[in-house]
A and B are shown apart, each in its own frame.
Chain A
Amino acid sequence: MLIHEFQAKKILKELGLLVPDGQVAETIEEAKNIAQELGFPVVLKAQILAGGRGKAGGIKTAKSAEEVGLQAASLLNARLVTLQTGPQGKLVKKILVEKYQEIKREFYFGLSVDRKNERLVALVSRQGGVEIEEQSRSQPELIKQEIFFPETGLYSFQRRNLAYFLDLPAEVIRIFMDYMEKLGSFFLSHDLKLLEINPLFLTETDQLVAGDIKMDFDDSGLAKHPELSPLEDLSELSLEEIRARKFKLNYLKMRGRIGCLVNGAGLAMATMDIIQYFGGQPANFLDIGGGVTEEAVSQAFEILLSDREVTSALVNIFGGIVRCDLVARGMVASARRISLQKPVVVRLEGTNVDEGKKILEESGLPFYFLSDFEAAARKAVELSQVKLKE
C-alpha cells in the first residue's frame, strides 16, 4: 500500500522528524490561504500515488497569492501524466502547499527490501533529488549501502558509516544517526517494503528536513496494523476496481476489448498472454481466487461485461478448489441481470465441470463452449473483432 506524500510527512512529524511547514489544499482558495499563512515563496505539490511528479510538472513554486492561484488552478482536478502513471495519468484532487526551503545540500536516504538477496538495505547518496536507480549506474561513487536484517535492525556502526559518508557537519551527524534509527524502527515495526526520503534537505540552519517521502507498506503486513487502514486512498481506483475489491476479487483494468474471468493469478496472466498471442488485447486481469462465492463470480462477470470497451469475453476456469458449477451459477445470475448481449467463450475444466456446463447450456444464453485452451482463445479474439450492433 502506497501512501501519499502528505500522509507520510505526517507520520515523520509524529516520529519527531522535521518536514517543511505546510498543509493540504483541495481548492484554489484553500491553497491561497495556506500560502498566505506560510509566507512566500511556497511550493505546490500534486498529491498522487505515483512518482516522477517533478519532471511531469506536478511540482510548482509560487511567490505570490496570484501565482498560487494560477498554479493551483493548473494542478487541481487535472490529470497528471508521469513516467509511472501510464498514459491516462492520475487525477489530482489534493495539493500539498509547503514553505519553500533554503538549502545547503540535498541527499537521498532509503530503506528497502532486497528481494533477490533476501535482506534489507539502507542506502544513502551524497546527491539527492535525482532518480536513485539511474544514479547507481552512472555515479555509483555517490552512493553507500548497508545491509541489515529484521532481527537486529541497523546497528549504530552502520548508521555511523552512512552518516560519515555524507560528510555532514559534526553537529548534524548525531541528528542523522537519530533520524535513521527512528525510521529504521518504524520500517520494521510497521512492515514497510520501501521508505525513501528524496531529497533529504540540509537547510541553511543545519537542520535535516525531508523534502519528499515515499512510503510503501507490505499489503500482507497490513492485518497487523489496523491503524494504517485509514491511510489507504481508493480514489485513484476505477469504479470497477473498487467494486471488485469489495468482493475480494483481484481485478485490474487494462485497455483491450476482451474481458477475462479466470481462477488463479498465473492462469489469469497466461490467459491474457494467449489473447495477445492470437492478436487480441485483454480488457482486464481478473483472478477470482480460490475461496470465491457465487455472488462474487456474478459481480465479476458483471464488471467485465458492463465495460463498454469489451466486445467479447473469455472465461477460463481450471477447477481445483473452485467448483465449475459455482462459477456457472454466478455467471448465469449476472447474465440474466444485465441481459447479456456480448458473446462469451467458456472453457471449464476440473472440479464439477459437467455440472457447470449443464447449468450454462440450460440457461439458453449465448455461451460458446470450447474445451481446448487455444481454440477458446482464438474464438474470443475472433468474436471481439465482430462489431456489436447497439
Chain B
Amino acid sequence: MSILLYEHSRILVQGITGQQGSFHTEKMLAYGTKIVAGVTPGKGGQRHLGVPIFNTVEQAVRAEQPDISVIFVPPLAAAEAIMEASHAGLKLVVCITEGIPVLDMLKVKNFLKERGTLLIGPNTPGIISPGKSKVGIMPAHIHQPGPVGIISRSGTLTYEAVYQLTNLGLGQSTAVGIGGDPIVGLKFTELLEMFKNDDQTQAVLLIGEIGGTAEEETAEYLKSSYYPKPVAAYVAGLTAPPGKRLGHAGAIIEGQQGTAAEKLKALKIAGVETIENPARLGKAIQKLLMGKN
C-alpha cells in the first residue's frame, strides 16, 4: 500500500509563495498531490496556485486538516517552521530546506520527541509513492508504482536508482530521501520497519553515503530483527578522502568513523546484498526479487 504517503494524504506547504515553494507546489499539484493549504505569514486569506493561504500553521490545520506538512522556507527560519508544524499537531513533516544549523536541529529533535511528530529531512528531496502522491522535489516521470521501497541519504543519486529500476520494469512502493544533513529525522531503521509491514513492498534498496553511523546502526537492526524482506545497499563515497566534506554537510569521514568501506562491510555481514558498482543498483534489486520467487 506504500508507506507514509498515500493517495488521500492531505498536504500543507509552508513557504508556498516563495520561489522554490511555488515551483514545486505546481509540480506536486500536476502529479495529483492533494495540496489543501499553504502558509506564508502576512498572506493569509489569499489563494496561490488555487491553494488557500494561511498566516499560521495553526489556522491552516483548523481549516483544512492536513496530514503532512512540507517545508520550503530558508535555512535560518526552517527549524522554527518544523516546530510550528509540530506544535499545530501535524504528525509528519517533510523539510526540503538545506543548511539548517546543527544546534537548531538538536532543539527541533527534542521538540518533536515531546509531541510525537515524525520528521523527514532536512535536506531531502522528499517522499514519493508513485502513482499516488509526491511530497518533494523529485522528477516524477521517472517513477512507476511497484514493489521496491527506497531509502536514501541523497537526491540525484536516488533519481539514478529509480531510473535504473523503472528501466528494468521494476516500480517503487515509496521512495524516501532521509536527508544529507548530520542531524535528520527518520533514518534507515525506522523506515525499514515501516517497509517491513507494507504489503506492497517486496524488497528494499538503501542508498547510504560516507559520514555518521546510520548505516552501521542499520546493519545492527537488520541482524537483530531477522529482517524478513531482501535488502540491497549502496554506500557512496568509497573514493572520498577523510576530513573533507563532500557536498552534504553530513558527508564527511571523521577520524576512523564513517568510511564507505566500513559501512558496506557491516551491511554485508548483516546479510544485505551490497553493491559496489552504482550502475547496478537496479540489477541488484532485480536479482533479489528473482531469487525470491
Query: Which residues of chain A are within 8 angstroms of B45 by Cβ–Cβ distance?
Result: none
Query: Which residues of chain B are within 8 angstroms of A377 by Cβ–Cβ distance?
Result: 279
> In whole angstroms, how far apart are the Cα atoms of A265 and B156 in the complex?
8
Q: Does B152 contact A (CB under 8 A)?
A: yes
Contact B276 A277 (CB under 8 A): yes
Contact A285 B247 (CB under 8 A): yes
Contact A318 B160 (CB under 8 A): yes
Contact residues of B between 119 and 176, Cβ < 8 Å to A: 125, 137-139, 142, 152-160, 163-164
Q: Does B287 contact A (CB under 8 A)?
A: no
Q: Does B89 contact A (CB under 8 A)?
A: no
> In whole angstroms, how far apart are the Cα atoms of A272 and B103 in the complex?
31
Q: Does A219 contact B (CB under 8 A)?
A: yes
Q: Does A268 contact B (CB under 8 A)?
A: yes
> In whole angstroms, how far apart are the Cα atoms of A267 and B277 in the complex?
12
Q: Does A73 contact B (CB under 8 A)?
A: no
> Closest chain B residue to A251 by CB distance?
B247
Contact residues of A between 94 and 134, Cβ < 8 Å to B: 113, 115-116, 118-120, 133
Query: Which residues of chain B are within 8 angstroms of A320 by Cβ–Cβ distance?
Result: 125, 137-139, 155-156, 159
> In whole angstroms, how far apart are the Cα atoms of A267 and B163 in the complex?
13
Contact A116 B213 (CB under 8 A): yes
> In whole angstroms, how far apart are the Cα atoms of A265 and B239 in the complex?
13
Query: Which residues of chain B are within 8 angstroms of A252 by Cβ–Cβ distance?
Result: 241, 244, 246
Stretch at the interface among B33-41, B188-196, B248-256: B248-256
Contact A285 B106 (CB under 8 A): no
A99 to chain B, nearest CB (A): 31
Q: Does B76 contact A (CB under 8 A)?
A: yes
Stretch at the interface among A60-68, A220-228, A305-313: A220-228
> In whole angstroms, how far apart are the Cα atoms of A7 and B104 in the complex?
25
Contact B155 A218 (CB under 8 A): no
Task: Select A120's contact among B106, B180, B241, beta carbons within 8 Å.
Answer: B106
B144 to chain A, nearest CB (A): 16
Task: Select B251's contact among A115, A116, A191, A265, beta carbons within 8 Å.
Answer: A265
Known contacts A221-B101, A273-B238, A273-B239: A264-B156 contact under CB 8 Å: yes
Query: Which residues of chain A are within 8 angstroms of B44 by Cβ–Cβ distance?
Result: none
Query: Which residues of chain A are within 8 angstroms of B238 by Cβ–Cβ distance?
Result: 273, 276
Count of residues in B whose CB is under 8 Å from the partner chain: 60
Contact B279 A372 (CB under 8 A): yes
Q: Does B273 contact A (CB under 8 A)?
A: no
Q: Does B271 contact A (CB under 8 A)?
A: no
> Closest chain B residue to A117 by CB distance?
B213
Q: Does B107 contact A (CB under 8 A)?
A: yes
> In whole angstroms, how far apart are the Cα atoms of A374 and B282 in the complex?
12
Query: Which residues of chain B are within 8 angstroms of A150 by Cβ–Cβ distance?
Result: 103, 106-107
Stretch at the interface among B3-11, B51-59, B60-68, B204-212: B204-212
Q: Does A45 contact B (CB under 8 A)?
A: no
Known contacts A116-B212, A268-B246, A273-B237: A223-B75 contact under CB 8 Å: yes
Q: Does B236 contact A (CB under 8 A)?
A: yes
Task: Select B103's contact among A218, A265, A275, A285, beta carbons within 8 Å.
Answer: A218
A53 to chain B, nearest CB (A): 15
Query: Which residues of chain A are within 8 angstroms of B269 by Cβ–Cβ distance?
Result: none
Contact B99 A220 (CB under 8 A): yes
Query: Which residues of chain B are within 8 angstroms of A282 by Cβ–Cβ distance?
Result: 239
Q: Does A270 contact B (CB under 8 A)?
A: yes
Known contacts A265-B247, A267-B156, A351-B139: A149-B106 contact under CB 8 Å: yes
> In whole angstroms, how far apart are the Cα atoms of A271 and B106 in the complex?
32
Q: Does B109 contact A (CB under 8 A)?
A: yes
A153 to chain B, nearest CB (A): 11
Contact B278 A220 (CB under 8 A): no
Contact B100 A266 (CB under 8 A): no
B204 to chain A, nearest CB (A): 17
Query: Which residues of chain B are within 8 angstroms of A113 by Cβ–Cβ distance?
Result: 102-103, 106, 182
> In whole angstroms, how far apart are the Cα atoms of A115 and B125 in the complex?
22
Q: Does B70 contact A (CB under 8 A)?
A: no
Known contacts A254-B239, A264-B155: A269-B246 contact under CB 8 Å: yes
Query: Which residues of chain A are within 8 angstroms of B249 by Cβ–Cβ distance?
Result: 219-220
Query: Which residues of chain B are within 8 angstroms of A220 by Cβ–Cβ distance?
Result: 75, 99-102, 181, 249
Q: Does A196 contact B (CB under 8 A)?
A: no
Query: Which residues of chain A are within 8 angstroms of B237 by Cβ–Cβ distance?
Result: 269, 272-273
Contact A269 B240 (CB under 8 A): yes
Q: Does A287 contact B (CB under 8 A)?
A: yes
Contact B279 A350 (CB under 8 A): no
Task: Select B278's contact among A221, A270, A285, A372, beta carbons within 8 Å.
Answer: A270
Query: Which residues of chain A are within 8 angstroms of B234 by Cβ–Cβ distance?
Result: 270
> Closest chain A residue to B122 by CB distance?
A220
> In whole angstroms, how far apart are the Cα atoms of A224 and B104 in the complex?
12
> Closest chain A residue to B152 by CB distance?
A266
Contact string, A236-276, partner B, CB cutoff 8 A, digits 1/0? 00000000000000101010000000111111111111111
Contact residues of B between 200 and 224, Cβ < 8 Å to A: 207, 209-210, 212-213, 217
> In whole angstroms, how far apart are the Cα atoms of A119 and B207 in the complex?
25
B78 to chain A, nearest CB (A): 10
Query: Which residues of chain B are within 8 angstroms of A133 by Cβ–Cβ distance?
Result: 255
Q: Does A373 contact B (CB under 8 A)?
A: yes
Contact string, B74-105, partner A, CB cutoff 8 A, digits 1/0? 01100000000000000000000001111110
> In whole angstroms, how far apart are the Cα atoms of A252 and B252 in the complex?
13
Identify 4 new A-B residue pairs, CB closer than 8 A, beyond the known A218-B102, A262-B156, A377-B279: A150-B107, A265-B246, A320-B159, A350-B142
Residues of chain B touching chain A, judged by Cβ–Cβ distance below 8 Å, are: 75-76, 99-104, 106-107, 109-110, 125, 137-139, 142, 152-160, 163-164, 180-183, 207, 209-210, 212-213, 217, 234, 236-241, 243-249, 251, 255, 260, 276-280
Query: What 5 A-B pairs are tightest by C-beta distance, nearest first?
Result: A266-B154, A265-B247, A264-B156, A266-B157, A374-B279
7 examples of A-B residue contacts, CB within 8 angstroms: A219-B245, A224-B76, A262-B156, A269-B154, A269-B236, A269-B237, A270-B234
